[in-house]
Each structure stands twice: as C-alpha cells, then as structure tokens.
Amino acid sequence: MSNPRRSSSSQFLQHRLYTINRSGSGEAFYILLTPDHSHVLTYQIKTEHWKATKDISHFGVAVVNNFLYIIGGFNIVTAKHVKRVVRFDPDDGIWKDMKPLRIARAKFATAVLDGRILILGGEETNGKVMSSCELYDPTQNEWTEAPPLVSPRANHTCVVHHNEIYCAGGYYGSKSHRNIWTYEGKRWEDLGRPYPHQLPECLDRFAMTTVGRHLYFIGGVLCTMDKQEKKQNFVTGRRIVSYTTSVSAMSRPEVVADDDDDDDDANDGKPVLVSEFISPWNLALPNMSFGRHSHGIATIGSRIYVMGGTLLETGQQVRIVEVFDTEKGEWEEDFRFRKGDVSNVSCAILEVPFKQEETRLNERLRWILW
C-alpha cells in the first residue's frame, strides 16, 4: 500500500481515508488509517473544502500513484456536463489541470487497471446515456477511445478484481438493469458467457467492492415492476449480496438404483459420486440497518466501510457509517458524520505528508506568541 513515488523510508505520513462529496458542496471529509491500511487509526473526522469540486456533481474519482484525479461531472451552475480533469498531488497540496475528456460526461463508472484510468459510459450533455469508454494514460497525459460497453449505462458501478474489470447494473431506457460484464482489455462480455450471470435484482447507484475471492454488491436503488399497475417502482435497498468468482462443481454420493435391463449389476445399490453445481451467489447475508444509494465504500482489511448516501423515499442523508465484517458475516454501526453533505459521495485513500499540518500549526503558534 506504500506510495511508489516515495522511498520506503518515508515515515512522516498520514494515511487518510477521504469521503468526497459529489453533490457540488466542495467538501471532503477524512479519517486516519494505520500505515498498512488495515484498521482505522482515529475516528476524528476532519473537513476540507476543495474548489476543484465546488459546484460539480456526479464526477469520477480515481487514485493512481497517490495522485487523486477528479474527472468530468455536471456543473450545477451552468447546467452543463464538463470535460475537465484535475489532479491533486498531496505531496505539495497543488491541484493541476490535466488533459480533458474526449466527451463531456457525468454519472459514469471509473476503474484503475495497470496504472491507467478507464471511464465507462455515463450521461452526456443532451441527457443521452452512452456506451462509449475512454482510457487515460497518466504517463502520457492522454485520453484514447476504449472498447464500448455492451449497452449504454449510467449510474452503474465497477470494480477491478485479479486484473479483470467487472461492470454491473446501471440505468438505461427508463429502467435499471441486472447485467454483469467483464473486460479483459479487448472487449466487454457478459459474465459467464454463454450462460451469463446476472445481479439478483435490477440496481443502480449501488456500491461494489472485492474482498478475497468475493465481489460484494451493497445498497442502491432497486427497480421492480408492478404487474397489476404496469409501472416500475424504485426503492432504496438495504441488501448486501456476494458473488464468488471461482466456484467449482461439488461431488456428492448418490446410490445407483437397481436396473434389471443392465447387464452389469456390479454398481447397482452402491454409492457413486455425482457432480452438482454450486451457486456462486450468497443471497443470505444480513441487511444493513439503513437503506442508502449514492454511498461511498472502502475496504479496510477484511471490513467494508459504507459511508454516507441518501434514502430515496425521503431524500434524507444517511449519516451513520455501517461496517460489514466479511469474516464474521455481521454488520455494526461504527461512527457518524455530524455535519456536512454526505448525500452523494465517493471514497479514496491518500498518503499525505505531515509537513502540511505542521506548517499550519507553526503559523498558528507564531501568531499566538506574537
């Protein structure tokens, strides 16, 4: 988890878990992690105000080589989608404009693979939902066209697992979807082709992460069809389900019945091993206490932290942070955001030198002593 831009002897670092507002407030909240990023060091929440995210909503967030990238989004003042890409360097605290996107977009998914950033789908200025993708090479500061998604999507989610990108759910054509697609560098395909695996429910604005061999899908907006009224219903989900990426068939003993027409009766009445498929899905995990969508997510050790989000039915922000222990299979409520806007957030981990905090402290002390 160390930053490759620094030598391994660098000790004076804060390992910050940021919860970044994506509604236009410009707020970014952080707590501190242990150096190996396996536990929370302190639950004291600190708030920063970033001009780079002020008045911009539904942008993408990516971290490469300890640089934080804020990508695209929707300008709530001008009511336009933007191409802008800015990079934050925590070593010196400087924001820098980078090469903009090829197409202005928001509500897209973002993945980082082999040090490059992949932008998937999203919504463009005319409101059209796209299938187009873009790939960014930070070493060249260039965006290039990437293979398109199987179908247009917005408000979908993706995660990188063992050098593969999994893209799931999302919104298109006035409804949410159950798709899970995989990408190996050439094209997108349904997971498990020719027998595609799908999400248990139609979802968008949910969170997705990976721990060990499992993909976890948490919360979001659930789309169901009312057959009597012939209309769609949208509700906020509290559910967590997991998908195991490597599952093999299980053999079980079964007794072979007598068959009078069989000339070879040696095995009649004796147990033999029969292959049986094991479902990769675990749908029996306990629900969260609070339904939420547009929430952030961070995997710390074997625990999944679910931050912020909104309850669709009331528009209320969810300030309680819930944590799922993947080893125990249990939820617990951990801490609370007491102020600030956490209605639509994304999470990122950055290593920040102590020197920034020390400089501010020294400046305050000089004024006090003076």
At 285-331, the pLDDT tens digits run 999 999 999 999 999 999 999 999 999 999 999 999 999 999 999 99
* Chain segment 21-51, per-residue pLDDT in tens: 999 999 999 999 999 999 999 999 999 999 9
CA distances from 261 to 257, 264, 271, 274, 330 (A): 12, 9, 19, 22, 54
Where does 11-155 show beta strands of DSSP type E? 13-21, 23-33, 40-57, 60-64, 67-71, 74-75, 80-81, 85-89, 94-97, 109-113, 116-123, 129-137, 142-146
Q: What percent of the chain has pLDDT over 70?
A: 83
Closest CA to 307 of 349, 350, 345: 345
Res. 364 pLDDT band, cuts 50 70 90:
very low
Q: Do residues 16 and 68 lie in contact, with contact meaning Cβ atoms separated by under 8 Å?
A: no
- Is residue 350 predicted with pLDDT exceeding 90? yes
The token duo for 229 is 């009224």
Which long-range contacts does 205-209 make (Cβ < 8 Å, 24+ apart)? 205/155, 205/293, 205/294, 206/157, 206/169, 206/237, 206/293, 207/157, 207/295, 207/296, 207/297, 207/306, 208/157, 208/158, 208/159, 208/166, 208/168, 208/297, 209/159, 209/297, 209/298, 209/299, 209/304
The model's pTM is 0.87
- Domain range annotation of the chain: 13-259+278-365
pLDDT computed for residue 362 by the predictor: 47
Report how far residue 315's alpha carbon sits from residue 222's, in angstroms, rounded to the nearest whole number. Answer: 15
Closest CA to 312 of 292, 331, 287, 327: 292
* CA 259 to centroid of chain Cα atoms: 55
- List the strands of the sheet with 157-161, edge to edge: 157-161, 164-168, 180-183, 188-190
Q: Do residues 119 and 101 lie in contact, with contact meaning Cβ atoms separated by under 8 Å?
A: yes
| C-beta neighbour count of 257 within 10 angstroms | 7
Cis previous bond, 152, omega within 30: no
| Residue-level length of the chain | 370
Q: Do residues 46 and 59 lie in contact, with contact meaning Cβ atoms separated by under 8 Å?
A: no
pLDDT computed for residue 365 by the predictor: 45
**Buried b vs exposed e over 53-70: b needs ≥16 C-beta within 10 Å?**
beebbbbbbbbbebbbbb
Give me the architecture of the 13-259+278-365 domain, per CATH. 6 Propeller (2.120)
The residue with greater pLDDT, 185 or 100, is 100
pLDDT computed for residue 207 by the predictor: 98
- Is residue 230 predicted with pLDDT exceeding 80? no
- The answer to which of 121-130, 147-156, 167-176, 264-273 has the lowest mean pLDDT is 264-273
